[in-house]
Structure 1
Amino acid sequence: MSWFDVVVFTEVFVTLFVIMDPPGTVPVFLGLTSTMTAKQRNRAARQAILVAFGVIVVFAVFGQQVLHYMGISLPALQAAGGLLLLVVAMELLTGKMESAEPSGNQSVNVALVPLGTPLLAGPGAIVATMVFVQQTRGDDDALAQVLAIAAAIVAVHVALYLSMRFANVLQRLLRDSGVTLVTRISGILLAAIAVQMIATAVTEFVRAA
Structure 2
Amino acid sequence: MSQNFFQPFVILLLVTDPVGNVPLFVSALSHVPAERRATVVIRECAIAFVILLLFMFFGRHFLLAVQLTDISLRIGGGVILFLIALRMVFPQPGGVFGDGEADDHEPFIVPLAIPALAGPSALVTVLLFSSSSAIESLLHVAVLSLVAVVWLVVLLSAERMQRVLGARVMTAVERLMGLILTAMAVEMLLAGVRAYVKSL
Normalising by structure 2, we get a TM-score of: 0.80
Equivalent in the alignment of 1:125: 122
Q: Is 2:144 aligned against 1:147?
A: no
**In 2, Cα distance between equivalents of 1:180 and 1:53:** 28
Q: Select which of 168, 189, 198 maps to 1:198.
A: 189
**In 2, Cα distance between equivalents of 1:95 and 1:46:** 27
Q: Is 2:163 aligned against 1:163?
A: no
Equivalent in the alignment of 1:46: 42
**In 2, Cα distance between equivalents of 1:96 and 1:49:** 26
Contact persistence 1:28–1:186 (CA under 8 A):
no
Equivalent in the alignment of 1:15: 11
- RMSD of the TM alignment (CA)? 2.7
Equivalent in the alignment of 1:96: 93
Contact persistence 2:77–2:121 (CA under 8 A):
no
Deviations 1:112-136 (A, max 9, x none): 23432333223333333233322xx
8-17 vs 29-38, greater mean Cα deviation: 29-38
Q: Structure 2 vs 1, CA of residues 161 and 97 (structure 1 numbering), >3 Å: closer, same or farther? A: farther
**In 1, Cα distance between equivalents of 2:11 and 2:170:** 30
Matched residue SS, 2:183: helix
Equivalent in the alignment of 1:116: 113
Structure with higher helix content: 1
Q: Structure 2 vs 1, CA of residues 34 and 176 (structure 1 numbering), >3 Å: closer, same or farther? A: farther
**In 2, Cα distance between equivalents of 1:9 and 1:184:** 33
Identity of aligned residues (%): 28
**In 2, Cα distance between equivalents of 1:195 and 1:36:** 33
Normalising by structure 1, we get a TM-score of: 0.77
**In 2, Cα distance between equivalents of 1:31 and 1:186:** 14
**In 1, Cα distance between equivalents of 2:38 and 2:153:** 10
**Shift of residue 40 of structure 1?**
4.8
Q: Is 2:59 aligned against 1:78?
A: no
